[in-house]
Structure 1
Amino acid sequence: MLHYQDTGQGPLIVLLHGLTENSTAWDPLVGPLATAHRVLALDLRGHGRSLVQPPYDMVSLAEDVHATLDVVAPEEPPLLVGHSLGGMVATVYAAMHPVRAVLNVEQSLDFASMLQTVQDMLPRLRTGEYTGALDTLFTQLEGGALTTTESARLRRLRHYDRDVVLGIWGVDQLQAGADELNDMTAGLLGGIRAPYLALHGSDPGPRYRAWITAAGPSAALEVWPGCGHYPHLVQPERFVTRVRQLALAAGHSSTTDPPDHLAG
């Protein structure tokens, strides 16, 4: 079972953090969300205070989440909010288990592009330079959008375990082709019937918008320009409002079609 923080009462919201981070990455948002919701912030496998043990594939990480919720919150399907890695885990989870809605924050499902990024970094990730490579990556992802205080807080909580990073990025499976990877993610989206909102801090472009809304019958995409990889921390009040709106629109159903304003 995963380590978790449990705060508040009401309809269930589950928060899933990004790579190398942990549940405390959500700390600025937990209190405001918990005024009207029960909020579970989880440490994914290999992160925080949860088990550090392979495998680290997305199905295993999603099943960890399900096993934990089965014990601590079996009464209702969750609204899943995942950032970066957490957004991918939330997507896989929603393709396998009932959810009220999914909010995927800044996790592109264009695996072909991500594959190229990993391949470019791989030589440094396999050497003593891997910490510098990850520092550079996160600096680029932040894009100067976070406050100095918030950026420093995230740096302090990140933990770079090379085996975990390489396992999650599937370095042993990099032979898969771009078309195969994108077909896989399209299949995941096609299996999700609950409202699915992809939130980006920079515009992924019209081609990606068209692809994700075509692949997912319930998928919509929203862009908050200038927020970089952490729109939820750059504009926390706006983010809390958006989560509440999504929760209200989703209600308690895990199978209904999304409302018109979420249908893309």
Structure 2
Amino acid sequence: MAEVNLNRLAIFVTLVRAGSFTAAAEQLGTTKAMVSQHLARLEDELGVQLLVRSTRRMSLTDAGERFHEDCVRIVADAEAAIAQVGECRDSPMGVLRVAAAEDHGPSIVAPALAEFARHYPRVRVDLVIGDRLVDLIAERIDLSIRIGWLRDSSLRAAKLAGFRQCLVAAPDYLARHGAPRVPADLAEHAWIALTVLSSPTRWTFTDESGADHSVQTRPVASANGTLAAHAFVLAGLGVSVLPDYVVEDDLANGRLVALLPGHELPDGGVYAVYPGKHPPVKVRAFIDLLKQRLGRS
């Protein structure tokens, strides 16, 4: 049997429903001859006669009746599938799988996902926490929330917010080692290196006049996650640079001290990264929600 053109199934269903070639042609926006041609080719592909035609009427053969019943179901299922895809395009539904790092996933992304799930009950949210760089396509991740500076990538990104980099140390450490007065002093201090950064030990500060000051630090400990580096600093092990959203409470209550006033580091960014040029509506809606929440914070 030759391969059957499935488009002709819908034409066959329309023809039977319309009751004539002329009426079917009007509904399909084509000609009576084209409808007749499609039917003839369908019968050739199937190897059976579906309709008995005369000048005034047409009727289904036994094989045509059985085949028509199946075609009606197939066409209805296809229409339902198309409608469901349309709903997915217009309204968030299904699973939204988001990846985020340990320092901001629980505190920033999880509350946003909870609000998103309340707004869109047809969406099930799935948060993947970890500091490694995930493969969005291979791991079926809809979007990843990344902090810092984006590397060159074929992925698309939307900037959600910015953050300040803060040079900090614990009061206990400063009592034992003193505070640095200029960036060059950091070369003599114990440094906590965050290894996920592209340059975890070399830093460039900008002073109030706009001049840059680079320094190579000496790490006494390293960590591959921001929260682990934060714990080292809180314990008085050394000095490090941490995001403002991690240390703001510690600075407010005195658990940490900001160092080198008058010297700044480049601001970082919070990005939503996703594959594909046109993200689904659930991804676009969550990005909009995150922008609103981060804009209020």
| Range of TM-score over shorter length | under 0.3
TM-score, normalised to structure 2's length?
0.25
TM-score, normalised to structure 1's length?
0.28
Q: Looking at CA atoms only, which structure, 1 or 2, has the larger radius of gyration?
A: 2
Structure ranking higher in helix proportion: 1
